[in-house]
Amino acid sequence: MKDILPKIVLRYLRGVSCFTLLFVASGISSAQSADVQRAIDAYNEGDYAAAMAVWEPLANQGNRDAQFAMGVLYYEGQGVSKNLDEALAWFRKAANSGHPTAMFNLGVAYWEGRGLSQNFAQAVDWWERAAESGDVTSQYNLGLAYYLGKGAQKDIDQARNWLTQAAEKGHADARRVLGIIDKQYAKSQNPASTSSSTSAASAVTQAESAEIESVTVQPTEQQQIPAQELPKTPQEPEATKEKAAPSAVIVTARFRAAEVSVDKLELRSGPSSQSPVLQTLRQGTPVKIIETRGSWGRVEIPEQIRLWVFGDYVQGAPEGRITANKVRLRNRPTTGENSKVVAHLNKGDAVTVHTSTGDWKHISSRKATPAWVRLSGVSEQNPVTQDWLDNFNALAHAAPGKAKTASVSSAPSAFRAAWVRSDNTSVFGRATPDAPKLNDLAKDLPVKVIGSKGEWLMIESPIGLDVWVYGKFVSETGNAGQINNNRVRIRSLPSTGTESDVLGLLDKGTPVEIKSRKGDWIRLRVTRSVAGWVNSERLTTPGSVSADWQKRWDDIRSQNKL
């Protein structure tokens, strides 16, 4: 069965924008697939009522593509009276189910104030989600948003990141805007030698900035409600952009910061319990989460991963070179049943030789080795703090021979230890007393201090914190449950409004305790991957981890299995 049925291109009133309706047939029966095909044929022939008769029941059953189709019908007034509110309601349902084009449409609606109160930040939030799913025009919009500092903080590096992703997929305007940004950068690197030339350069820069601000979204054969000039916001892939004012404690990063929360966490070569174990990590080791896949995360650790290679293929020590192509790297110094090939190196690749056993050499390479851990074995930190980053970088740059001891065997703590001074100590969603309150903590509770901002300290609690999640992302069993999707946002309030802070992300399989409900939202107790803010006066002075503190923390954690 084909994954994607024929495309339906719907053109909107302005004529400059269009989108394609992609109806994914996976997960439906062959009989339903035949009905869907008839609906598509009916739609293309203008028989919208017949198409709607198929899509509406599927949409009510939760099919995101049918929900998106319903939004289109109401937006265009095809088979029904035009109804923007109804269209946006269906788009929101589809967007909450992960439909990228529906996310894009909601972003446009917020950006232009079409049927919704104008809110640039909300527009950026929806475009960010769509861009992460690969939606090209949303990537372009985010790049402009970052460049203009509209809906998100101005950030030229993030602008380049998103515009480059769109340009690489053929978005012509993204390439044009990148060219303008590059010209502006070149001028800033070569300041004019006279005041007149400086004025001229400034005038050109202003003209180019105005040109960027006037850019409109062009159809990519896959979008949208008509979109105008567009905006900015951040997100992640691979290496980090560490950025903060000299005194800032929180930094922007394209990874998710975490620390190992269990001892001897297995680092595997792939996202599966069947993948070979590369090594184990000690509790407290900081890791960067680069990618998630189900209940697994691909991580970067502070030190280079060490693997075994047959000694004849290495020349030189401790700095050596590989002498042949496709040389196998193994997790054990043998070719026996328990030894697995986990990577390859080619002739000329540089390696560091750490030790030898018989005919085998234990080496590390500058080439990245894929490394995965179970997400349940790490505690995520949001946002990334400078203290955390400094600790990770210090371990990464430790002298050879010391790195293993530091990051794997006895990692310095990525936090400072403190105790709660008094009962009913409030934890807030952000560093201000008028922010939403998450919990009250009891006197003498141990907490981890992972960041600071003025008189406020960012903390993790051993009993966890109470947060809100949209109900459809929680699979319930009595008072317990688990997250049923990846990168689910946890919030301080049961809404997506600007007053509701995003406190972190949870992935599929994360266990949770259900505390209460409000409308479509569920309040959950989450013990990992969430932090809150406490006034520093309510805690003891943060310091090093004592044996008494560690024992108390471990005892409480062991009583809270989630």
Q: Could you say which DSSP state residue 494 is in?
A: S
pLDDT at 425 over 90: yes
String of b and e for 81-100 (b: at least 16 CB within 10 Å)? eeebebbbbbbbbbbbbebb
- Given a cut of 90, is residue 275 above it in pLDDT? no
Please identify which residue in the block is written with the tokens 């350069």: 201
Average pLDDT, the chain: 74
Same domain for 391 and 422:
no
| Domain assignment present for 245 | no
Rounded to an integer, the average pLDDT of 292-297 is: 81
Residue 185 lies in a domain: yes
Q: Look up residue 504 and give its amino acid.
A: G
Find the farthest-apart pair of alpha carbons in the chain and give their distance in angstroms, rounded.
79
More confident residue, 226 or 402: 402
Confidence band for 443, pLDDT divided at 50, 70 and 90: very high
Helices 100-112 and 64-76 cross at an angle (nearest 10°) of 40
- Beta-strand ranges (E) seen in 134-284 are 250-251, 256-260, 265-268, 277-281
**Same domain membership, residue 529 and residue 480:** yes
**Residue 90 shares a structural domain with residue 159:** yes
Judgement on whether residues 180 and 63 belong to the same structural domain of the protein: yes
Residue 71, domain member (yes or no): yes
Task: Write down the residue that tokens 């640039």 correspond to.
Answer: 120
Residue 246 lies in a domain: no
Q: With bands split at pLDDT 50, 70 and 90, how would you rate the model's confidence at 187?
A: low
Same domain, 294 and 436: no
Establish if 3 belongs to a structural domain.
Answer: no
pTM of the model: 0.38
Position 59 in a domain: yes
The 3-class SS string of 161-185 reads: HHHHHHHHCCCHHHHHHHHHHHHHH
Task: Note whether 401 and 436 are same-domain residues.
Answer: no
Residue 244 and residue 542: Cα distance in Å, rounded? Answer: 23
- What is the mean predicted confidence (pLDDT) over 314-322? 86
Q: Band of the pLDDT at 420, cuts 50, 70, 90? A: very high
Query: Encoding tokens for residue 495?
Result: 């809404």
Which domain-ending residue is among 187, 213, 239?
213
Residues 43 and 172 in one domain: yes
C-alpha distances out from residue 100 to 138, 141, 335, 425, Å: 9, 14, 47, 41
192 plus 293 within the same structural domain: no
Same domain flag for 385 and 494: no
Residues 140 and 202 in one domain: yes
| pLDDT (mean) for 151-174 | 83
User: Domain of 385: which CATH number?
Assistant: 2.30.30.40
Same domain, 331 and 451: no
For residues 41-50, give the mean pLDDT: 81
Let me know if residue 239 belongs to a domain: no
Report pLDDT digits (tens) over 205-223: 444 444 444 443 333 333 3
pLDDT digits (tens, 9 = 90+) for 331-377: 888 887 678 888 888 888 888 888 877 788 888 887 767 899 988 78
| Boundaries of domain holding 295 | 256-302+372-409
pLDDT winner (highest mean) among 37-41, 283-287, 423-427, 548-552? 423-427
| Judgement on whether residues 346 and 470 belong to the same structural domain of the protein | no
Please give the Cα distance from 479 to 513 (Å, whole number): 6
Question: Given the DSSP bridges, would you call strands 511-518 and 314-315 parallel, antiparallel or unpaired?
Answer: unpaired
Q: Is pLDDT above 90 for 399?
A: no
* Number of independent structural domains in the chain: 4
Check pLDDT > 90 for residue 426: yes
CATH number of residue 77's parent domain? 1.25.40.10
Q: How far is CA 12 from CA 20, 226, 478, in A?
A: 11, 7, 47
Report yes or no on 483 lying in a domain: yes
